[in-house]
Amino acid sequence: MAKKSSSTVDRSTAGISNPTLIDVAKVAGVSPITVSRALHRPEVVSEKAREKVLEAVRLTGYVPNMLAGGLASNKSRLVAIFVPTIAHSIFADTIQALMDRLAAAGYQALIGLTGYSAEQEEQLLGAVLGRRPDGIVLTGTLHTEQSRQRLLQAGVPVVEAWDLSDSPIDMQVGFSHEKVGQAMARHLHDRGYRHVSVISVDDPRALRRSRAVVAELEKLGITKAPLEALSAPATLLSGRTGLKQLLAKGIQPDAIVCSSDTVAQGVLAEAASQGIAVPEALAVLGFGNLSAAAHVYPPLSTVSVDGTRIGTLVAEALLQRFQGKEPLRESICIDTGFKIIDRSTT
């Protein structure tokens, strides 16, 4: 009889009813502890062993009992990620990089949508903490007092992303929205624009950027810039509506700062429909440097934020905590910065 190769799984014992971890080990030709490590701590087993275990899991239909494993190790291998919306892609790079890095380390992600509401975030926290996550990622630094107290008492590693503040709950990875707004104002002022308006959705971070634009322009000697605020989330319609409303009020800006690239693209569409030449009669500056920004017409000037880097750094901060390593002091609050990309619309 031919001897089975140790590098392949035993397909003859696949298809077991209600398979157990021991059944998976038999099919994979490895020990039960190797199966457990491959599923829960893949970084400590070889790629070859992990592939054999995953193939055996597929063949047997085994479903790991994550709750039992969590109770045994006091770890759930779960990270909760709260984001305001998935209606547009401004957070997509961050979420993808974060989930990829966590998955490579054997962690699963649970995504909750806050709808830009601190109260909704508080409700989600109440539900998620009952699942005993190993870590929590929050978008932004504005939370209810109840949420802050609950997180401090839970003792769960927390990273606030996409923002910085003077009173972090735990760790922060992001940038200053006030500094972004100030830089946008100076950028347009330096290029000679003196009649600047702002179109923003009403989420807290967008409004902070927008108000910083207005305040910085005033410091530069420009009369208070009109700020048109519309309901979040950002859409192309937001931009079109914002420009229509400004024009209907008799406001004739020579430049518009937008709270996101999506809003800015709406402004470009409305300007084109009304025969307003960009940038000759109207400059437009967005935020986010989304993938379409360089390919609309005219190519959109914007603020670039490295969402992928933010996601990776958030994951690394959490993983250091999970491994019992305190992050370096300078890693507790990481400023990822931003960059203005000057294209044809300014």
Q: Which of 142, 120, 303 is nearest to 210 (CA)?
A: 303
Q: What is the pLDDT of residue 44?
A: 85
SS3 210: helix
Which residues neighbour 222 within 8 Å (Cβ) at sequence distance 6 or greater?
A: 189, 194, 196
Q: What is the pLDDT of residue 60?
A: 82
Q: What is the pLDDT of residue 70?
A: 52
DSSP track, 146-185: HHHHHHHHHT--EEEES---SS-SSEEEE--HHHHHHHHH
Domain boundaries for CATH 3.40.50.2300 within the chain = 76-175+307-339, 178-304
Domain boundaries for CATH 1.10.260.40 within the chain = 11-64
What is the value of pTM for the model shown? 0.77
Question: Taking the CB of residue 98, how many other CB atoms lie within 10 A of it?
Answer: 28
CATH of 11-64, one of 3.40.50.300, 3.40.640.10, 3.40.50.720, 1.10.260.40: 1.10.260.40
Q: Which of 74, 65, 76 is nearest to 110 (CA)?
A: 76
Q: What is the pLDDT of residue 260?
A: 95
Q: What is the pLDDT of residue 163?
A: 96
Q: Which two tokens stand for residue 154?
A: 């839970």
State the amino acid at position 50 in one-letter form: R
d(CA 191, CA 346): 8
Q: Which of 137, 131, 187, 179 is nearest to 158 (CA)?
A: 137
Q: What is the pLDDT of residue 4?
A: 43
Q: Which two tokens stand for residue 5?
A: 């190769």
Regions of the chain where pLDDT drops below 70? 1-18, 63-74, 88, 326-331
What pLDDT, in 10s, does the model give residues 305-324? 999 999 999 999 999 998 88
The CATH architecture to which 76-175+307-339 belongs is 3-Layer(aba) Sandwich (3.40)
d(CA 106, CA 84): 25
Q: What is the pLDDT of residue 208?
A: 96
* Dihedral, CA of residue 294, residue 297, residue 303 and residue 305, to nearest 10: -30
CATH class, 178-304 region: alpha beta
Contact 170, 320 (CB under 8 A): no
Question: Taking the CB of residue 9, how many other CB atoms lie within 10 A of it?
Answer: 25
d(CA 145, CA 151): 10
Q: What does DSSP assign to residue 115?
A: T
d(CA 211, CA 233): 18
